[in-house]
Structure 1
């Protein structure tokens, strides 16, 4: 009786998953954010302009009159804190997402990224995350200065609400920065950003209360999203009476201010998206 040897059937091993470079999309996003942060702090003029200027303006114009009190009990130091913080985050939004991105377009960096597998959205989200971090840094320094040297005292919830409002302002006005970046020529983006930002900040009452400005500027302010953002920010920590006394403008309904701010963000985001798509089509053609 013969016994026939049998060969065991080979077992199939499960296919090995290839390790994802840089930890996948989250890893790429982390690298993008870290790169943007390092780039921001390596540029001395940007760091000074974005962070130091609002703090210096508050120190020069807010602290000397910080102990004065409005009729409703609000300290002038608190009103100036809101004004200069709004100035800082709007400036950061316009120049971080406008001038810097336009420079990248001029150097051909965005075109190079478009020809690689690197997702464009990761690059843009990295810029937004970097802007949020810088906005938090600006707000933290401003709050510390106001609390220590300006005598401003608020409940913890009010500090958090005001800080969250400022970060939301950065995200909202980043749409204006993106619109400038994609609509303007790279060489003229910085000039256009200044021509847009400075009149916006001045006419919105960030530097001088609207009651001290000519009537024509007070009329124009009603159509500026930065003015309505300021109205929302003041209301977080100030009663309506003091907001009206400080800004020199009649307070309106909250939904009106929200409509102006969010509506302008939607329109500007649409313009930026159309301009970016047009550039992509032109590049492929």
Structure 2
């Protein structure tokens, strides 16, 4: 399992497309938006908000797009080959989920470092650690969602489905658009999405407002439900071979 995890991570980090779209874009967006919106007496709080939102956007994008690779592997028969090895099915899913979590790290670290060094975001060491852990662990539901996309999509449709899924969660969940400006109906939807609470929990750590139990419950529910669906779908997919 360790060998498969290492090879998967190396393959992804060697992809220029991954580095550009999931690491470069969130950083560029943060620099642009912070230069436009982080002005006036609330500039410090706006910087923190933009930092968390753009880091979350990159992490969501990286985790979902990584899961989409499963569709390509299913298309070329790689999954069937792995089933002939001693590697159990649950280990394959765990490896894919772990890869999705690992590839979010560069985006989170880079956005946070640039926010601190270039934009002067000043947090204590403990607060930085709390924000990072909240943002990283909040990606768990999206690692499962990415796997779900990969198990239902085809090799041709995987990229499009992953992109649409990522944008829907980012837009409706208040990652790219603050939920305060959304209509009431869409704001209600946002509160039921893991993307909203990923940002809210991480923001709470940055601002010292604590961890909302509702947010933890929503994130955990999404992870468990989607994870269960992924397990059932993978088992059915294996039975067809």
Query: Does the TM-score normalized on the shorter chain lie above 0.5?
Result: yes
CA deviation after TM superposition for structure 1 residue 256, in Å: 1.5
By relative contact order (CA 8 Å, sep 6+), the higher-ranking structure is 2
Q: Confirm whether residue 108 of structure 1 aligns to residue 72 of structure 2.
A: no
Aligned to 2:23: 51
Q: Which stretches in structure 1 are left out of the alignment for 5+ residues?
A: 1-27, 244-252
- 1:67 and 1:211 mapped to 2: Cα distance? 19
Conserved? CA contact 1:86–1:230, under 8 Å: yes
Q: Cα–Cα, structure 1 residues 210 and 170, in superposed 2: closer, same or farther, change >3 Å?
A: closer
Larger Rg: 1
**Is contact 1:33–1:130 with CA below 8 Å preserved after alignment?**
yes
Residue in structure 1 matching 2:159, options 166, 169, 190: 190
Q: Kindly report which structure 2 residues correspond to 1:260-279, keeping only aligned pairs within 5 A, or say none.
A: 260-279=218-237
Q: How far apart in 2 are the matches of 1:33 and 1:62?
A: 36
Equivalence for 1:77: 47
User: Does the C-alpha gap of structure 1 residues 226 and 200 become closer, same or farther in structure 2, counting only changes over 3 Å?
Assistant: same
TM-score, length of structure 2 as denominator length: 0.90
Equivalent-residue separation in structure 1 for 2:102 and 2:225 (angstroms)? 25
Q: 1:133 to 1:266 in 2, by over 3 A?
A: closer
> Equivalent residue for 1:218?
187
Q: Match of 2:203? A: 234
5 Å-filtered alignment, 1:93-104, equals 93-97=63-67, 99-104=68-73
RMSD, aligned CA: 2.2
Give the length in aligned residue pairs.
241
Aligned pair partner of 1:170 in 136, 139, 146: 139
CA distance in 2, matches of 1:277, 1:183: 13
